Amino acid sequence: MDLNDEAILGRFPVGYYSFHSNVSLNFQMNRFWNWVGDKQMLEELKAVGTRISNYDDWAREMSKLSDSSLAAGRRLPAAYYAKMAIFFLDPSDARVKPAFQRFMGIVLEDNGVTPQNHHLVPYQGKQLSAYRFTPPVVRGKIVVFGGYDSYIIEWLPAALALRDVGLDTIIFDGPGQGTALDAGIPMTPEWDLPVAAIVDHFGLSDFTLIGFSLGGGLVIRAAAREPRVSRVIAMDICTSLFVAATKGFTASGLSVIAENSDQMPAQLVNAAVASVRKTDLLTDWVIAQGERVMGSATPADVFADWREYRTDDISSLVTQDVLLMAGSKDHYMPLSMLPDQLMTLTAAHSITARVFTEAESAQNHCQIGNMGLALKVILDWLDETGGRVANRPTSTKDDRSS
């Protein structure tokens, strides 16, 4: 690592905090704070956790913090609070659009993103939103996408860090994600298709592909069928969306229904889910979001669709160098998914696995708590596998015409 690398990665805070007793809410609070690292925001989140007991409280309190931050001239905290405020809201809620516009406007402007950085990539008669950040001296190329329903622009601080360490960095929302989902493009397990659209649009060659969260499974599916991908990073591993999405159903008693949903009449599955949704806010949100992301009509359809997002059926086709990243206490992706993924990558050129621990403050999902360390591991691996060359320029004449 160059000293310059260390300074760039030092932008990210270190620490995973106990903001809320609910594991899911606590993660979301840590997640959004990680992108800002503001000390006052840290104290505000510690205080606000005591005032949140449901999603209505969440929306109200985060909205208040956004407004007060903006009034005080604290623009980035205001932006991320705005995004937090609408996280659990139905997209049709009147509060969503203005809050999202606040988030996007501030984040893009304050990070110096220009219209020249933004690209609309043709995809099956529609368009995918992508951003490209090219450093003065290009040492490698990297393409990044997110997971289940994420907006890639949330990941902008990491993308700019990758640019600043010499990587020509492209980030995009794929089907079922962020702006693509807002435009009515549902998720697809055939993830090689959106990746191919990005590769074609930018004319890419010799590049690394990263997927985070569910993207850790989608990136395996993409690399298996898109040979132009040179290196693969799963951040984190996700061998089964069905397992990840239903593991939290145990408390509500819905886990047995979900597990056996493929053997039960759809009408019975839907009735059971409807009963639980009346009293369980998290289940209600998960199912509603599942129908939206997957383009599914009913809960039974959601369960069926989730089962398609797996890697055991396609991992043997991956021939690239692969980096697998996992958190020792990831509450979304069981650590058992790591050996499962390792065992099925039978044709990979090489496989490197890294488990992040609590001692590193990186034990949770996608290494929230120590993003600087996660990026350092990625950069070290790229240096070893040819994804980033020593300080010398690489030609981009052929693949920067778009």
**pLDDT tens digits, 94-152:** 999 999 999 999 999 999 999 999 999 999 999 999 999 999 999 999 999 999 989 99
Q: Report yes or no on 88 lying in a domain.
A: yes
**What is the C-alpha end-to-end distance of the chain, expressed in Å?**
31
Residue 93: is its pLDDT beyond 50? yes
Question: What pLDDT, on the 0 to 100 scale, is given for residue 397?
Answer: 46
Which CA distances in Å does 187 have to 162, 209, 337? Answer: 26, 18, 22
Mean pLDDT of 58-65: 98
322 and 196, same domain (yes or no): yes
83 and 123, same domain (yes or no): no
251 and 230, same domain (yes or no): no
List pLDDT tens digits, range 23-57.
889 999 999 999 999 999 999 999 999 999 999 99
Nearby residues of 249 by Cβ (< 8 Å), 6 or more positions away: 255, 258, 283
Question: What pLDDT, on the 0 to 100 scale, is given for residue 396?
Answer: 47
Residue 279 confidence class, pLDDT cut points 50, 70, 90? confident
134 and 160, same domain (yes or no): yes
Q: Report yes or no on 171 lying in a domain.
A: yes
Residue that terminates a domain, selected from 306, 327, 349:
306
Q: Report yes or no on 357 lying in a domain.
A: yes
Question: What pLDDT, on the 0 to 100 scale, is given for residue 253?
Answer: 74
Q: In this structure, what CATH number is given to the domain that contains residue 151? A: 3.40.50.1820
% of the chain residues with pLDDT over 70: 96
Pairing assessment for the beta strands 167-172 and 126-133 based on DSSP bridges: antiparallel
Separation CA 15–CA 189 (nearest Å): 34
Question: What pLDDT, on the 0 to 100 scale, is given for residue 391?
Answer: 76
Among 146-160, 367-381, 385-399, the minimum mean pLDDT is found in 385-399
List pLDDT tens digits, range 293-317.
999 999 999 999 999 999 999 999 9
Closest CA to 58 of 92, 91, 24: 24
Residue that terminates a domain, selected from 110, 143, 167:
110
Residue that terminates a domain, selected from 63, 84, 110:
110
190 and 315, same domain (yes or no): yes
How many independent structural domains does the chain possess?
Answer: 3
Write b or e for each residue in 264-282: b if 16 or more Cβ atoms lie within 10 A of its Cβ, otherwise e: eeeeebbebbeebbeebeb
154 and 230, same domain (yes or no): yes
Q: Report yes or no on 3 lying in a domain.
A: no
369 and 322, same domain (yes or no): yes
Question: What pLDDT, on the 0 to 100 scale, is given for residue 290?
Answer: 94
286 and 148, same domain (yes or no): no
Residue-number span of the structural domain to which 87 is assigned: 13-110
230 and 184, same domain (yes or no): yes
pTM, two decimals, is 0.94
Question: What pLDDT, on the 0 to 100 scale, is given for residue 283?
Answer: 86
